[in-house]
Chains A and B, each alone.
Chain A
Amino acid sequence: MLITAALIRDTFREAMARKIFLALILVETMYVLFFLFILKIDIVEGTVATFTVFGKTSHGMDVNRLVSEALGAVASFLYTFGMALAVFASAGLIPSVLEPGRIELLLSKPVSRHHILLGRYLGNLLVVGLIIAYMIVAVWAILGAKTGIWAASFLTTILTTVSAFGILLAVVVFMGVLWESTAVSTLVAIALMIISVILAQWEWAYRVLSSEWARHLWKGLYYVLPKIFDLGSMTRAIVMHKPIESWMPLWSSGLFAAVVLGASLYMFSKRDF
Chain B
Amino acid sequence: MPADFAIETAGLTKIFRSRWSRKEFCAVDGVSLQVPRGTTFGLLGPNGAGKTTFVKMLLSVVHPTAGQALIYSRDSSVPESRRPIGYLPENHRFPTYFTGAGMLDFYAALSGVSAGDRARRIPELLELLGLADWGDVRLAKYSKGMLQRIGLAQAIIHQPSILILDEPSDGVDPVGRRHIRDILHGLEEKGTTIFINSHLLVEVELFCRDVAILHRGKVARTGSVKELTMGKGYKVSAPGEMSDNVRSALGAFASGVAARDGVVDFQFGTREEANRAIDLLRAEKCEVESMIPTTSTLEEVFIATVEG
Contact = CB atoms under 8 A, between A and B. Distances in A.
Given A111-B110, A272-B63, A105 B91 contact: no
Interface residues of A, number: 30
| Chain A interface main SS type | helix
B61 A110 contact: no
Determine which residue in B60, B110, B112, B164 has the highest number of CB atoms from chain A within 10 A of its CB, and name it.
B110
B92 interface: yes
Given A5-B109, A6-B110, A109-B111, 10 more contacts: A3-B112, A13-B95, A102-B92, A102-B93, A102-B94, A104-B61, A108-B60, A109-B110, A272-B63, A273-B61
A197 to B, nearest CB: 34
B5 to A, nearest CB: 19
5 contacts: A99-B93, A107-B60, A108-B59, A108-B61, A108-B164
Interface in A1-52: 2-3, 5-7, 9-10, 13-14, 16-17
Contact of A272 (B61, B82, B92): B61
Contacts of B110: 3, 6-7, 106, 109-111
A101 B92 contact: yes
B154 to A, nearest CB: 8
A7 B106 CA distance: 8
Given A107-B59, A107-B61, A17 B97 contact: yes
Interface in B71-94: 79-83, 85, 87, 89, 91-94
Interface in B29-81: 56, 59-63, 79-81
Nearest to A15: B97
A238 to B, nearest CB: 38
A10 B109 CA distance: 11
A270 B199 CA distance: 30
Contacts of B81: 110
A112 interface: yes
B98 interface: yes
B240 interface: no
B114 interface: yes
A95 to B, nearest CB: 13
Interface string A103-121: 1111111111001000000
A105 B111 CA distance: 11
A108 B85 contact: yes
B89 A105 contact: yes
B51 to A, nearest CB: 14
B102 interface: yes
A111 B106 contact: no
A145 B225 CA distance: 79
A2 B89 contact: no
Contact of B112 (A2, A105, A270): A2
A100 interface: yes
A270 to B, nearest CB: 7
Nearest to B58: A108
A77 to B, nearest CB: 31
A273 B114 CA distance: 29
A101 B56 CA distance: 12
A6 B158 CA distance: 15
A88 to B, nearest CB: 19
B265 to A, nearest CB: 48
A3 B109 contact: yes
A273 B93 contact: no
Contacts of B85: 108
Contact of B87 (A10, A14, A17, A108): A108
Nearest to B60: A107
Nearest to B86: A108
Contact of A110 (B102, B112, B164): B112
A105 B107 contact: yes
Interface string B145-184: 0000000001000000000100000000000000000000
A101 B79 contact: no
Interface string B195-229: 00000000000000000000000000000000000
